[in-house]
Amino acid sequence: MSLTLNKYLSVTAAVKPCDEFQAKELQELSAMLYLARDAQFDKVYQNVEDNRRLRGDLQDLQKTWDGLNKEVQEHPESDKMHRIQRDAHCHEAVMWYVHHLSTDVKKVLAESGVEVPLLSYDSHLPPCQSASDDTHKKVCQHYQETVLCTSCHSNALPTDPK
């Protein structure tokens, strides 16, 4: 699936491999995409409680990102945690790009050279099943909520007990 989506992105946007980004850069990109979004798209998602809806305002999202950044940085396996966090942000940024921006905004971004991450081909799901501490669990929860298609294309999140 990532291969197919990456091919589509490569012909519609300026792209860069996910592993060439840092989580903080992706958060800054996501903040820009949030500000450039078409609010009417999100209104549709919000009205039907679609999982593609944005889950808070930008300030709340940034506060969550900052908290997770701090935990990841202080974790004994910070490199491993960062890779999982980064790959989650790549998926999130792509989802926002695809589902929340108008065609005109996408065109302006492409002409401006703004690079959209490609989706990672690595799966962190197996290691996340054995997450052993709170930080690892938080990073994995965010990862699972952003990378699984069912997170957006169904009414159940992986962390939802339903």
Please write the tens of the pLDDT for every residue from 26-67. Answer: 999 999 999 999 999 989 988 998 888 888 899 999 999 999
> Per the domain annotation, does 30 fall within a domain?
yes
Please report which confidence band the pLDDT of residue 108 belongs to, taking 50, 70 and 90 as the band edges.
Answer: very high
162 domain residue, yes or no: no
Residue 162: band (very low, low, confident or very high) from pLDDT cuts 50, 70, 90: very low
- 92 backbone dihedrals φ, ψ, rounded to 5°: -65, -45
- pTM reported for the whole predicted model: 0.88
Question: What are the CA-CA distances from residue 107 to residues 12, 13, 112, 137 (Å)?
Answer: 8, 8, 9, 37
- CA gap 153, 147 in Å, rounded: 11
Does a structural domain hold residue 158? no
Please report whether residue 69 resides in a domain.
yes
Report whether pLDDT(73) > 80: yes
Residue 122 lies in a domain: yes
Domain total for the chain? 1
Q: Confidence band (pLDDT; 50, 70, 90) for 1?
A: confident
